[in-house]
Chain A
Amino acid sequence: MSDPNTVLCVDDSRVVRKAARRILERHGFSVREAENGLAALEACRAEMPRLVMLDWNMPVMDGMEFLVALRAEFGPREPLVMLCTTESEFDRIVLALGNGANEYIMKPFDDGIVTGKLVQLGLLEEAEP
């Protein structure tokens, strides 16, 4: 079982991790950070988060390599994975979905997009209008 309340934020940019953290914490998630795919894989082995928010282009191990390794090791269900990347080509998105991503954000993102995607993933209730 994964911790229902944690998000692992994987991005080689500290600024992006901080921006994501701010949005996620406001919704009550506890956030862990990793700066590349390998560190993220180790973090998942240590404790499985509910959601991985995943950049694509990173040194050491990129997001796609991480995703493939993660699904191979832990199966298709856990954790949820949401790409969050400047890669915005149709084929790249389809590739990520084929490799087991559950959601996809094309950067730049804002609070509204992240929050909406969390709702679609079933991690948040629809905000009352």
Chain B
Amino acid sequence: MNAEGFASIAALVKARSGIVLTPDKEYMLETRLTPILKAEKIADLDGLALRLRDPRAESLARAVTEALTTNESSFFRDGKPFDHLRRIVPKMLAARPAGHKLRVWSAACSTGQEAYSVAMVLSELGVRHAEIFGTDLSRDVVERAREGVFTQFEVQRGLPVQMMVKYFRQEAARWRAVPELRAMTRFEERNLLSDHRMLGRFDIVFCRNVLIYFDPPTKGRVLNALAAQLAGDGVMYLGGAETVLGLTDRLGALPGERGVYAPAALRAGAA
């Protein structure tokens, strides 16, 4: 494909999602967009770039953007954040009025492993009065997260077998989260770049392994927007390769923890 075609698809994807496609990702465009070319009977990527210039190509633009997201996930990914969650939730609830509904946001939830991991942690802690809100840009993964059905391969990644038999039921070759977990979770399609103010306050936000795809200004903007929805004594979890340093001053790392952040004012107060 020509450089102009690549640049125009990359610009479209960045504007819609924040995801930066560098020229070395051209192979990814080839592999991920070929099914769309076939379905739309478009000859090649340059042809696709041309078609996308038409402002009426909204649903095509959307399909292209979604096809270029990376949806890799696993249960209890990286372990440590969930150990921290186990420790912080009882403390957090002790500081809340009785009957408080704990609100957790899994922003960029992909197929839901993160949200269901949180649900299992809360369930093990005996916390039932909770809402785990999973959101993602891609309709496809949100639909799958909502179904709560995982392949044999997925259900073995990160999930100890005792948890698997306790919280999942077999349906043919797949495994579905039990109603108890599904009752705690809710999944919606949502762009991280959009306005989140109507979502209200969250006690805990997970935003992991998605900022890595964004440029620094977009990372900063998203971090600020998420921090604005976080309770004053809330915590936010980022992926292992992600940080707030130089991106926002609303959040700071919790000392001695990996990937755990808290509103900066609280840290200053606690220090």
Contacts and interface: CB of A to CB of B under 8 A. Distances in A.
A126 B160 contact: no
Nearest to B241: A129
Nearest to B208: A129
Nearest to B161: A104
Interface stretch (A1-9, A47-55, A57-65, A89-97): A89-97
Contacts of A105: 156
Contacts of B162: 97
A106 B152 CA distance: 8
A127 B130 CA distance: 30
A12 B153 CA distance: 23
B224 interface: no
Nearest to A91: B170
Interface in B159-175: 160-162, 164-165, 169-170, 173
Interface in A114-129: 116-117, 119-120, 126, 128-129
B157 A97 contact: no
A112 B73 CA distance: 12
Given A93-B165, A97-B161, A104-B161, A129 B152 contact: no
Interface string B52-92: 00000000000000000000001000111000000000000
A95 to B, nearest CB: 11
B121 to A, nearest CB: 15
A105 B240 CA distance: 27
B5 interface: no
A13 interface: no
A19 interface: no
Nearest to A89: B170
B165 A97 contact: yes
Nearest to B168: A90
A90 B157 contact: no
Contacts of A93: 161, 164-165
A103 interface: yes
Contacts of A120: 160
Contacts of B74: 116
A126 B157 CA distance: 13
A76 B248 CA distance: 52
Interface string B24-67: 00000000000000000000000000000000000000000000
Interface of B: 74, 78-80, 152-153, 156-158, 160-162, 164-165, 169-170, 173, 239-241
18 contacts: A90-B170, A94-B165, A97-B162, A97-B165, A101-B161, A103-B160, A104-B164, A106-B152, A109-B156, A113-B153, A113-B157, A116-B74, A116-B158, A119-B79, A126-B78, A126-B79, A126-B80, A129-B241
Interface of A: 88-90, 93-94, 97, 101, 103-106, 109, 112-113, 116-117, 119-120, 126, 128-129
